[in-house]
Amino acid sequence: MTRANIIAIDGPAASGKSTVAERLAKELGYLFFDTGIMYRAVTLAALEQLHAVDDEAQVTQLAESVQIDVDPASVQDGRMCDVLLGGRDVTWLIRSAQVDANVSQVSAYPGVRQAMTVQQRRIGKRGSVVMVGRDIGTVVLPEADLKVYLDASVEERARRRYVENQERGRQSDYEEILASMKRRDAIDSSRAVAPLKPADDAVILNTDGLSIEEVVDRLRQLSQ
Ligand code: DC
């Protein structure tokens, strides 16, 4: 059997996609690409430059012109990579509660998705890639050799995000995270364009109660 060349991993917020996908990519010597970063960077740009995300036409124009770069991590502070917006390091800014609260609205705009999808396809089609997001198996790379949909209960995902914040020394409230995650799930799953859902040919993996290592083991088996 040949090893999967293009691997698509989708799933809801904090399902553990990025952590396990990054490890798998490292093992395989593949590029790891987290597409959520791009929607977060556009959201940050809109909040900074437009002070709101409600004007769809303006946000779309911004998405079409903004320069987002993802480079290897230059600082050892827990980051997986450097995220640059117009050359400025915004790696942690794109993880703020304000971006969390607005990113689903921005990523529901069809013109924004179009602009991001074009760039993601170009990167994905080169192969030797593990690409992570919400619509990779359904829209961005439907030709992927392996499609996995990682799921977990919303309570488990909120708990993971809470622990992650604590580890980074960020104050947070579990109930607030849970409410924000439910809101985001609802918007991501119900939007008209590229809603969050498993591709028909995706392997669905529920990670409740599974360790990171166990999930990576399963992905490794699936990719062989
Ligand atoms: O994975 P994440 O939490 O960093 O994603 C941030 C937001 O971006 C999320 O609310 C949904 C959106 N997103 C998307 O719509 N399509 C993708 N391929 C990746 C992320």
Domain-by-domain residue ranges, the chain? Answer: 6-223
Amino acid 169: pLDDT: 86
Q: How far is the CA of 2 from the centre of ligand 1 (A)?
A: 30
Instruction: Write 50-57 long-range contacts (CB < 8 A, 24+).
Output: 53/102, 53/105, 53/106, 54/105, 56/109, 56/111, 57/111
Residue 135 Cα: closest atom of ligand 1? 18
Residue 136 Cα: closest atom of ligand 1? 18
User: Is domain 6-223 in CATH 3.40.50.300, yes or no?
Assistant: yes
Nearest-CA residue for atom 13 of ligand 1: 36
Amino acid 164: pLDDT: 86
Ligand 1 neighbours, Cβ below 6 Å, are 13, 35-36, 39-40, 103-104, 107, 133-135, 184, 188
Amino acid 97: pLDDT: 87
Q: Identity (one letter) of the amino acid at 4?
A: A
pLDDT in tens, the chain (224 residues): 589 999 999 999 889 899 999 999 999 999 999 999 999 999 999 999 999 999 999 999 999 999 999 988 899 988 889 999 999 999 999 999 899 899 999 999 999 999 999 999 999 999 999 999 999 999 999 999 999 999 999 999 999 999 988 988 888 899 999 999 999 899 889 988 888 999 999 999 999 999 999 999 999 999 99
- Per the confidence metrics, is the pTM higher than 0.85? yes
